[in-house]
Structures are given as C-alpha cells and as structure tokens.
Amino acid sequence: MSRYTDKVVLVTGAASGIGKASAERIAGEGGKVVCVDRQAEAVEETAAGIIASGGEAMAFVCDVTDQDSINATVAATIEKCGKLNALCNVAGVLRFDHTLELSMEDFDFVMNVNARGAFMMCQAAIPHLLETKGFIVNVSSTAALGAHAWTLAYSASKGALLSMTKCIAVEYMLEGLNCNAICPAAIETPMVEAAAHQIPENVDVRLFQKGALPDGSFAPPSDVASTVAFLACEDANHINGDHIRVDGGLMT
C-alpha cells in the first residue's frame, strides 16, 4: 500500500520538466495520474511512459488559458476516474524582458498562463476536491519571494499565484481542502535551458548572479517532484496556505 494508492491526481505541465517528473513520481507511488499539457505528443509520451513502467495514467491535451478546455478536462477526469484527490498546477511560462520594453501582449501571455490559468484550474477542480477533502499544489517560484531582474511579468504572475494559494487555503480550510505552494529555483528543465538564450541584450549580467547558486549548479526536476508528492497527500495534512522553497538554499 503506497501513499497514492486509490488516489486520482491531475498534474498540469506534465509534458515536460517538473510537471512530468511529478506525474512520474506520483504514479510511482501508486496514484492514477491525469497528465495535462498543451503539448499533445509530449503529454501522451509522459502517460505512455508511466503505463509502460506499470503505473496508471491518462493524457489530456488542454491549454490552461482556455476555460472551456479546462472544464472539459476536469469533467472528463471525473467521468473516467470518478473523483479527484489532488490538483497540481505546474504548467508555466517564463519570459525575460527589460521592464520598459515589456509588451502588453507578453505581460498578458505570462499572467494568463501562470496566474489566470492556475486560477481557472482551481475553480474547475475545487468542487470535486471538496468531495475528497483533497489537495492543491501550486508551483510558484522564488521570483514570488525575492526579485530576479528582467522578469517583471513572471514575478508578478508567481506572486499572484502565491496569494491565490493563501486565499484558497483560508477560504476552504473548514471544509478540509488543503492548498500549498512550492517555490523552486535552479531546476534543470527545458524552461531554464531556453531562458539562457532569452537574457535581453545590453544588460549588466551582475544583476543575474542572485538567480543562481554559488557553484552554478542546477537540481533535477525530481527534486521538486518529491515535494509536490509530499504536499499533494495526507502527509501535508497540517500544512495549509504555506510555501516550501526548493532552491538549494538560494534565498536563504
């Protein structure tokens, strides 16, 4: 008997990086994982990989900026699995820009995925999570706690996600719903690899130093997945409305 036996867990961003590692970790502990992402082929691969390893998974293609797509995904989850025990909002996007050059389109794009998308997922899932006294885990960022240069939209979106986490925790605490956040940094994923090529031109890179560990190292996505798996089940029963940094001590 594992801690996720008989549990249904929906993970967004499951096609890649931290979301994929979280889906694999939870499935490895006996959970039935609903893998959700806008990248069709890659999210199917995550679910297929879990099934090939003896786990239970299904894949849904869903853009978290599209409310109809979210509602259809949650409805299909309930139809196929009968219940939902946990929602892990991992999908996210990162953009680097000079604040004065940040377009309204890019600002809205980042906010729509990272903040509004997670909110819409919560709104669709909460009625079902109340039935199971379930768990929400929102993957925020150290950008919500401190500041990284040239990431105004990203930092604002992750700050909003952290505030939403606390609101949901307080609003539903008497009904047994539990909502926490994780603030990672320096995790080796495609997002971070792409970011290295997005630093704006004509910037003083000394401002970037506080975004990296002293030895320049990165941790694997599995180091965040272990915390996602901890917070999305009864092991975190008495932790509510809080965040855990998974940043190797960067913000300490």
Binding site for ligand NAD (CB under 6 A): 12-13, 15-19, 37-39, 63-65, 90-94, 113, 117, 139, 141, 184-187, 189-192, 221
DSSP state of 116: I
Q: Please, which residue, 1 or 215, has the CB nearer to ligand NAD?
A: 215
Q: Please, which residue, 13 or 55, has the CB nearer to ligand NAD?
A: 13
Rounded to a whole number of angstroms, the distance between the first and last alpha carbons of the chain is 37
Alpha carbons 156 and 159: distance in angstroms, whole number: 5
Q: Please, which residue, 1 or 104, has the CB nearer to ligand NAD?
A: 104
Least spacing, CB of residue 114 vs ligand NAD, in Å: 6
* 239: Cβ contacts below 8 Å, ≥ 6 apart: 178, 180, 231
Contact by Cβ (8 Å): 103, 150: no
Contact by Cβ (8 Å): 204, 133: no
- Residue tagged active-site, from 87, 154, 187, 236: 154
Least spacing, CB of residue 133 vs ligand NAD, in Å: 25
Matching residue, tokens 């990284």: 148
Q: Please, which residue, 178 or 189, has the CB nearer to ligand NAD?
A: 189
Residue 172 annotated to the active site: no
Least spacing, CB of residue 1 vs ligand NAD, in Å: 30
Max CA distance (Å), the chain: 56
Cα angle value 149/107/246 (rounded, 5°): 50
Contact by Cβ (8 Å): 102, 25: no
- Positions marked active-site: 154
